[in-house]
Structure 1
Amino acid sequence: MAFRGPKVWLWRWRRNPLKRGADVLEAWVVLGAWVLTLLAGVLAGLAVTWSVERELARERVEWRPVVARLAEQAPGTSDGASETVSGERVWAEVRWTMADGSAHEGQVRVPPGSTFGAPVTVWTDPQGRLVSEPATPAQARLRAALIGGLIGASAGTVPFVCGRVLRGRLERRRLDRWDTEWALLGPLWGRTTG
């Protein structure tokens, strides 16, 4: 195990006669990358979270439940016990009328063996198209937080990776300079080992 000594905070900005310009540049690159990573991640995450919450709230306001009627006998048998145990549902054609009197039809999942004309609650958007049931406020908050966190983390990786790449290039440049200086100064030392 190598001895590193005590950890010194902000060592990149302390006075040191051996510090080169490349060291100062690397310090600013590291600081800039971390600041941009945090800012990009937090700002993108919050913006997406607010946007998703606003969109889900709009859906809760605009989407409405409508009672539709089965336009056909649903496939399968109407054994209530099998539905409650397995939760099996089948696709069936339904028809409904909007408040403006326009007739619509579509397919929804219903219990097997549902009879012709049986009422089924469906959710529609303002144009009368079938949609899923809107998220509750708690579901919307959770969904928005998860999406915002994912987008925030993704947005934060861009400046982080760019900073790492730039720092790697600076490191390679520094090592190349050391090789050049060693090639010039190494022979001047002469033979130092027995």
Structure 2
Amino acid sequence: MAMRWGRRGTLRRRLWRWRRSPLRRTSDLIEAWLLLVAWGAGVLGGATAGTVAAVAADQGFEEDRSSRRQVVAVLLERAGESAPTHADVTTNAGATVRWTTPDGRTRTGRAAVPAHTPVGTHVRLWTSSRGDLVSQPPGRSDAVLRSSLTGAGAVMAAGGAVWGSARAVRALLDRHRTRQWALEWERADTQRGGASA
């Protein structure tokens, strides 16, 4: 007759380290507590690390967005006549532009603008709070995606650290148990009349 463990039997087999038994060693109980603490620390620590990392990344993106300003610049040369400065060479090209900083100074520099834009055209660009040309800040959806990915990375890093620590402690426990078994086998062999080491 085949034995049926069912759900209750599987649970009982997994929780054997928690029950009193003459076969249970102290190291088995330590390992059970270790696994419980590792699971708790992994779940709670990972969730906390992920949340903190996502919030910090979101605040960083928000500060980055708020520190950039959109300005109107004037093209000083035809955009298609110079080497492109943007990765998307099919729609943008590099050109010299002039803009006014927040403190009223006029500056010139190179920026990526739509290709073949004629001289004198007004284009919108982004500057830092000091008036330097910068790239367009990420949109809200991009920032949310990046924050989520940062949080997910923190969850995986925290979980990996907890898992690695638990594996290291389990390896130490296994080494201790192996030495303990070797000593017990040696004692048993000696008691039965075998050669002592």
> Secondary structure in 1 aligned to 2:72?
strand
Query: Aligned partners of 2:108 and 2:56: how far apart in 1?
Result: 32
Give structure 2 stretches of 5+ with no counterpart.
83-88
Contact 1:75 1:113 in 2 (8 A): yes
Query: Is 1:66 the counterpart of 2:64 in the alignment?
Result: no
Query: Is 1:16 the counterpart of 2:21 in the alignment?
Result: yes
Query: Counterpart of 1:100?
Result: 103
Query: Counterpart of 2:131?
Result: 128
Query: Counterpart of 1:178?
Result: 181
Contact 2:102 2:131 in 1 (8 A): no
How far residue 136 of structure 1 moved from its aligned partner, in angstroms, is 2.7
Give the 3 Å change call, closer, same or farther, for CA 40–107 of structure 1 in structure 2: farther
Give the letter for the 2:27 counterpart.
A
More relative contact order in 1 or in 2 (CA 8 Å, sep 6+)?
Answer: 1
Moved over 6 A (4+): none
Contact 2:65 2:137 in 1 (8 A): yes
Give the 3 Å change call, closer, same or farther, for CA 129–161 of structure 1 in structure 2: same
Query: Aligned partners of 1:168 and 1:142: how far apart in 2?
Result: 38
Aligned length: 181
How far residue 188 of structure 1 moved from its aligned partner, in angstroms, is 4.5
Give the letter for the 2:32 counterpart.
A
Q: TM-score of the superposition, structure 2-length normalised?
A: 0.79
User: For each residue in 1:121-159, what CA deviation from the matched residue of structure 2 results, as whole angstroms up to 9, or x when unmatched?
Assistant: 111121112222223323222221111111221122112
Q: Pick from 20, 42, 45 the counterpart of residue 40 of structure 1.
A: 45
Query: Counterpart of 2:157?
Result: 154
Give the letter for the 2:17 counterpart.
R
How far residue 55 of structure 1 moved from its aligned partner, in angstroms, is 2.1
Q: TM-score of the superposition, structure 1-length normalised?
A: 0.80
Report the more deviating stretch, 56-65 or 182-191.
182-191
Query: Is 1:109 the counterpart of 2:112 in the alignment?
Result: yes
Identity of paired residues, percent?
A: 35
Query: Aligned partners of 2:174 and 2:124: how far apart in 1?
Result: 65
> Secondary structure in 1 aligned to 2:73?
strand
Query: Aligned partners of 1:126 and 1:91: how far apart in 2?
Result: 23
> Secondary structure in 2 aligned to 1:107?
strand
> Secondary structure in 2 aligned to 1:123?
strand
Contact 1:30 1:167 in 2 (8 A): no
Contact 2:102 2:130 in 1 (8 A): no
Give the letter for the 1:74 counterpart.
A
User: For each residue in 1:86-127, what CA deviation from the matched residue of structure 2 results, as whole angstroms up to 9, or x when unmatched?
Assistant: 844222222210242122333222233322222221111211
How far residue 174 of structure 1 moved from its aligned partner, in angstroms, is 0.4
User: For each residue in 1:26-48, what CA deviation from the matched residue of structure 2 results, as whole angstroms up to 9, or x when unmatched?
Assistant: 11222222222223211111111
